Structure 1
Amino acid sequence: MPTTPADAPAADVLVDGLLAAVAGQLGRPLPARLQEAFHRVPRHRFLPDRIWLRDGSGGYRPVDRATEPDGWLAAAYSDQPLVTRFTDNLPSSSASMPSMVARMLLLAGLAEPPTPDEVRARVRVLELGAGTGFNAGLLCTLVGDEQVTTIDLDPTLATNAQENLKTAGCAPTIVAADGALGWPPNAPYDVVLATFSVDRIPSAWLTQLRPGGRLVTPWTSAWCSYGTLALTAAEDGGAQGRFHAFASFMQMARPDTESDQPLAAPEGAASAAAYSSTGLSPWAVAGGDLDAEFHIGLTVSGASFCWDTSGEHAHTRLRVDEPTTGSWAAVDYDGRTAADFAVTQAGSRQLWDEITAAYRRWEEIGRPSVDRYGLTVTSGGTAVWVDSPAITVAAR
């Protein structure tokens, strides 16, 4: 369990400010149990001496503890994600936004005092993605060090997290391993909590979760990285639950193996392009409406998009790609009329036709928001539904 730090008075003031910011995001104060956990696990103890903040222009600016001590400490107790490492000029590890951390702990059912049965049985938690170790520290405060297992694919991150946790007085089980495989030696777990996003639920997570246990993970798709899924495990090994409209996390990293590489496009994928037009605006499906984009990400598998404003092909082009089949589509705006757009499609999948059908289906069912979607996992596959399992919108 974490011990009270020597700098507790100063840290308490900073934590109070952070908790006020979190309460503003959630629309209500955190339960007392979670507030205590944030006080007992000071966030600044889990951060490296150099962190990166968004610069407001799509990039990041570094903040060094040595040269900007006040700015560094203010960032540590701000309700924002902090990049802690870059790989190949891209963020590869971060300290999650504290309000997101709190929301996930609430969804996991860890904010309220344990019931007498839970006290006797001891709640056991598996965290997937140790990161800086901060979230594991909160878990140690909530359920006890010996009940927490945290794993990270990167041995360096696992080691750093262990050092940070030791400094904060926490001693969970820390393992360098593949998060997709969970950690069978300490199973079964009452809670499985991921700190990275996935586009499907690894079977190992459910296998290691006791019936009635909770699984909470950020969600992603090739089209839209948004949302958090909370599932309850069933007696038969399946699970069911709902999506929640918050969180955008880095995607789960996997070991570098041949099976993880993109599949080569099959012969004939580069078929002759087909030309048509559409009245569906490309901005309707890829212009920032997260509800629409979330639906398309769930229902048009593997498709991703990017915008081209170079003027090389058109005034503005929406490019859609699906690498498994090599299919692609382009939707062009000519800079004059927004009533009709030129469409080019090629490959075995007519991607723009699929996207159009998905968007029309979204409109037919009432343009549902993210938190109206749910997911059911059974031995036969996975089904995504809206409002109830009776209204299925995707299955695989």
Structure 2
Amino acid sequence: MTSHPDPDEAIAGLLDEIAGQLGHPVPAHLQAALRAVSRHLFLPPTLWLRDGNGGHEPCDRESEPDRWWRAAYRDAPLVTQFTKGGQQPHVVCADGAGGWPPNAPYDRIIATCSVRTVPLPWLEQTVTGGLLVIPWDTPWCNFGTLIATKQADGTAEGVLAPYGAFMLMRAQRVEVELHRDVLREGQKPDRSVTELSPWSVAGTDLAAQLHIGLRVPGTWHAWDTEGEAAHTRLWLADDEATSWASVDYDGRQLSAFAVAQYGPRRLWDEVARAYEGYVAAGRPGVPRHRLRISPDGAGTRHQVTLS
């Protein structure tokens, strides 16, 4: 039996491995965190390691101590437990938006892409009392996960949970570009001034962004810090490419911002009203937003309420 290396030596090797992948040394505070805890103390006697054929094989500390130790201090995932009697999933290559009718109904439907509306087959193929777990998206903000329960009347109701930013379902993407599709020569926007900071509605407050996205349909935004017209500009546009707005920061003061709006919708006004509602409601967190999903022809519609 080969003697185990010193934990400090093993962690030093792990840090070198990580640094090689990063292309630079591991930051000091992360080094300190790794050195503070010996990894092998928190691992079970048997680890499950990749076998090179798409599966796993056991590695026992008693019979293979050197291999077990090396695995403990490698920058690679370790499986510490397999559940006996687990089921093998049935994998189908198809358009996920249509679900899979042959095996329906399902107790759980879990999506790994985000949607702006729930595909009707997902709703129809879930049993009454079953759960739909779906990353949510709006053009304004890709954030939040819907956890909804199928109701006896064919609808589904649930709340949004924080996090869960996934790529949007291909069929629901809208290919609109600001300079190609929205802005045109000769457009004469209405101009005004606002005291509402653009960072309040499109900054780091993701709960505010989610609230706005749910209440201002089909509207997206983009930041511009390289234009000549303003130090920093927040652009707003709609998916129909018929309306746009801009809010400018002049680089000097944060008490007033120049606003331009064009088209049948006054997008900045809509966003400002949604933000005012967010503040008036006590700045509700993500879980206070409830969605009711109902069949609507060949698709679904959703109604938003605050709990």
TM-score, normalization by structure 2: 0.68
What is the count of residue pairs matched by the alignment?
Answer: 237
**Aligned residue number for residue 288 of structure 1:** 204
Is contact 1:219–1:227 with CA below 8 Å preserved after alignment? yes
| 1:191/1:382 CA distance change after superposition, 3 Å | same
**Aligned residue number for residue 310 of structure 1:** 226
Q: Residues of 2 paired with 1:312 and 1:271: CA distance? A: 18
Report how far residue 326 of structure 1 moved. 2.4
Report how far residue 75 of structure 1 moved. 5.5
Q: Which runs of 4+ in 1 moved over 2 A?
A: 39-47, 73-78, 141-145, 259-266, 378-381
Tell me which of the two structures has the higher relative contact order, counting C-alpha pairs closer than 8 angstroms and 6 or more residues apart. 2
The CA deviation string for residues 19-69 of structure 1, in whole angstroms up to 9 with x for no partner, is xxxxxxxxxxxxxxxxx9xx879799879xxxxxxxxxxxxxxxxxxxxxx
Report how far residue 227 of structure 1 moved. 0.8
**Aligned residue number for residue 13 of structure 1:** none
**Aligned residue number for residue 196 of structure 1:** 113
Question: 1:383 is aligned with what amino acid?
Answer: Q
Report how far residue 290 of structure 1 moved. 0.5
Report matched runs for 1:174-185 at 5 Å.
174-185=91-102
Question: 1:350 is aligned with what amino acid?
Answer: R
Gaps of 5+ in 1: 1-35, 48-69, 79-137, 146-170, 388-396
The CA deviation string for residues 220-252 of structure 1, in whole angstroms up to 9 with x for no partner, is 111111111100001111010111112212222
Question: 2:75 is aligned with what amino acid?
Answer: A
Identical pairs, percent? 43
Is contact 1:226–1:248 with CA below 8 Å preserved after alignment? yes
Is contact 1:43–1:77 with CA below 8 Å preserved after alignment? no
Question: 1:347 is aligned with what amino acid?
Answer: G
| 1:142/1:308 CA distance change after superposition, 3 Å | farther
**Aligned residue number for residue 222 of structure 1:** 139
**Aligned residue number for residue 207 of structure 1:** 124
SS in 2 for 1:216: strand
| 1:75/1:332 CA distance change after superposition, 3 Å | farther
**Aligned residue number for residue 8 of structure 2:** none
SS in 2 for 1:295: helix
Report matched runs for 1:64-143 at 5 Å.
74=75, 76=77
Question: 1:342 is aligned with what amino acid?
Answer: A
| 1:355/1:178 CA distance change after superposition, 3 Å | same
Structure 1 vs Structure 2 CA RMSD: 3.5
Q: Residues of 2 paired with 1:386 and 1:331: CA distance? A: 29
**Aligned residue number for residue 262 of structure 2:** 346
Report how far residue 304 of structure 1 moved. 1.2
User: 295, 304, 307: which is aligned to 1:384?
Assistant: 304
Q: Residues of 2 paired with 1:183 and 1:41: CA distance? A: 33
Is contact 2:261–2:267 with CA below 8 Å preserved after alignment? yes
- Higher Cα radius of gyration: 2
**Aligned residue number for residue 15 of structure 2:** none
